[in-house]
Structure 1
Amino acid sequence: MLAAELQAAGGRTAALLAVFAQTDRPLRARGVCEAMGLEPAPNNINDVRLKLKRLTGRNILAEPEPGLFALRP
């Protein structure tokens, strides 16, 4: 299932994880927004960044450097 389809189904967290599953490099919040088909407006970027920080706190994502996120190995 594509990230846009997951998001439409109400699973923004699942859509975020799908974006990371499809790439092998760390991404910034803006890049995640673009991959999800969201307009890279400040409110969308901040919402995504907040979700990414929460997933980092849950040890699902890693933040190798400030603002750069990747799936934990």
Structure 2
Amino acid sequence: MRERLDEVEARQLLVRETAEQLREQIARLTEQLAAAEGTLKRLEITRETLAELAAENGIQPPEPLPPGYREILAAIEKAEDGLRAKDVCQALRLGTEPKRTESTRAKLKRLVTRGILTEPEPGQFALTKPTPGTPEANSS
């Protein structure tokens, strides 16, 4: 009987240690969560302030890009002469199956429609170069 009690006590000690480690992890994660929520709140306030300032100046703020578009822009930015949809898929390691290529091509076309990209020749996409006199050109 004593042997079984010792086993139970040993297991209790092990579970207590595990519980304490988990409490410490929870405390660390709670701090990280609070920090992330604080950052999100500040970013939200910044976005609202910029939208208010833009409205006061009669400027329509740009719509935020949906997920996946920033990665596409980063891939195209690295290429000097622009990229084709298949090249973007390869750069992003998405695979080059037709459904991936066509989905990426649709996103590229949307970016052209928004004036972020140009299509200098059919199927080739490049970043839009700022024209002289625009704020983007003057900030360089």
SS at structure 2 position matched to 1:64: strand
TM-score, scaled relative to structure 1: 0.83
Give the counterpart of 2:122 among 60, 63, 66. 66
**Aligned equivalent of 2:17:** none
CA distance in 2, matches of 1:53, 1:23: 17
- C-alpha root-mean-square deviation of aligned residues, in Å? 1.2
> 1:30 and 2:86 equivalent?
yes
Unaligned runs of at least 5 residues, structure 2: 1-65, 130-140
Instruction: State the identity %.
Output: 42
> By how many angstroms is 1:18 displaced?
0.6
Give the counterpart of 2:69 among 4, 8, 13. 13
Deviating 4+ runs (over 4 angstroms): none
**Aligned equivalent of 2:108:** 52
TM-score, scaled relative to structure 2: 0.44
- Kindly indicate whether structure 1 or structure 2 has the higher relative contact order, using CA contacts under 8 Å at least 6 residues apart: 1
Q: Which has the higher strand share?
A: 1
Q: Which residue identity does 1:29 align to in structure 2?
A: A
Q: Which residue identity does 2:93 align to in structure 1?
A: G
Q: Which residue identity does 2:122 align to in structure 1?
A: P
Unaligned runs of at least 5 residues, structure 1: 1-9
SS at structure 1 position matched to 2:83: coil
Q: Which has the higher helix share?
A: 2
